[in-house]
Structure 1
Amino acid sequence: MSTAAANPWPQQTSQLELDDTDPVIADIERVPEARRGNFSTVGDNRWDLTPLVQKHTVSGTLSIVFDTFPPHYVATAKRLIWASINKPTPVEDLERSSAARSQLAPATVCIFARFLRQWMTWLAERDIHEFSAVTDATYDEYAEHLKRHRGSRENVGNMLFAVTRAWLYAPYLPEADRLARPPWENSQMGRASVLGPANWSSENKTTPFIRRRWPALSSGRCASSPTSATTSSPRRH
């Protein structure tokens, strides 16, 4: 089994030092005044991201529930998701152009959390309980797993980019939480180097999750499913 090379990080950042009493939303100015109430804190099992939603036409709640994550990965998941809410993604560390946003919208954070949970669950099932233990062979196996079981090429690509995003946040994280560079990020082709040509297909095609997020929010269901990392309930604004 090959071991992924250590990452030289061109952008220097300070590692996160989170306390259970710290607010999940660090910058209150991002929250509309009408929604500035009791915010979730890091120690909570459920993080409510609804205060960050800017569209008044959207009903329902956006939340992330951490008891859906493997126990060994809960602290890592909280650090990563907190960073995705409050820190810019170091997209300049990519060696190719990307349309990824540096500051994520709350719905995108929920999608990232869902895909992150799937990645962590898959790792835990293989007795891999720290990101620092992930190798190139692990990445290759996960990519093949997604292509076999996770539907359309676009959907698989979105799931792989969630792993890329977890790698990009490494400068904010302790050593055990740092992923090595995914092999698909060693090529200008990016995920296409793993997915193959754009006409790649699977018999088990599903509507890409990324396309369903706003219709789901409008109906107050925020990507809800029995195994989802995100949950919602109707609420009026």
Structure 2
Amino acid sequence: MEKGVEFVNTLLASFLLLGTVFLLSVPARSDDDPGPRPLRTSSLLQLDQLFSSGTHLLVTQGAIESFLAAMEGTPPDWATVYGHGHHDPDHDDRLFNLNRERDAAREGNPILTWRIAFVWTGEVSHFDADTQSYSVAVGPELTPTSWGLVRFKPEEFPSNLRVRPDKHLADWIDGSLRRHESVQVSIIMAGTLIPTESIIYDFSHDAEGVGLIMPVVKVEQVEVVLVKPHA
């Protein structure tokens, strides 16, 4: 009888040990980490297939300019606002007043409720063996327009962005990285404008006197699209 009890206890201990090992082998993931995302191969002209109906794709100069015209009416008088630049004692006040006046003018504009999608740039950097996925380095996209430079600004952006492509794409990416070739991707983010600071006006830090327009978006969906998929 004692041998039978000892056998059962040993068996239970083995199951508990196996269960512990299994739990430890599953990578932990916080609520803020959605895990690896699929790598899409859609053309930038077919992005509407990735988003819900009614999403406005602001991925071309023309679409962005039409959006700004519907939201803001006319571009700012950048030359007047800039004046003599940062050394002009009234420069900051003029820029502040521009933002305040534009904020007040767009109150109640139905476009504030639009769901919009915009593009940032990315590059596949390396393979992460722990998550069996590829890390992606991400940066903002600057679009020259007749209004000035436009840079969409996500309110929050998912940190540690990773993708898990299918085997065909993974093999191609591995080969490209071994040859030290850049693997470019587009990061398409969709969401709605932040009502309290939907668009911020500023000046470029890289080009003297060039206006910078930053729509601020609460991001609800992120898609990663391969720019130049393997033929």
TM-score above 0.5, yes or no: no
Structure with the higher fraction of residues in strand conformation: 2
State the TM-score, normalized to the length of structure 2. Answer: 0.21
Instruction: Determine which structure has greater relative contact order: mean sequence separation of CA pairs < 8 Å that are 6+ residues apart, divided by chain length.
Output: 1
Structure with the higher fraction of residues in helix conformation: 1
Larger radius of gyration: 2
State the TM-score, normalized to the length of structure 1. Answer: 0.21
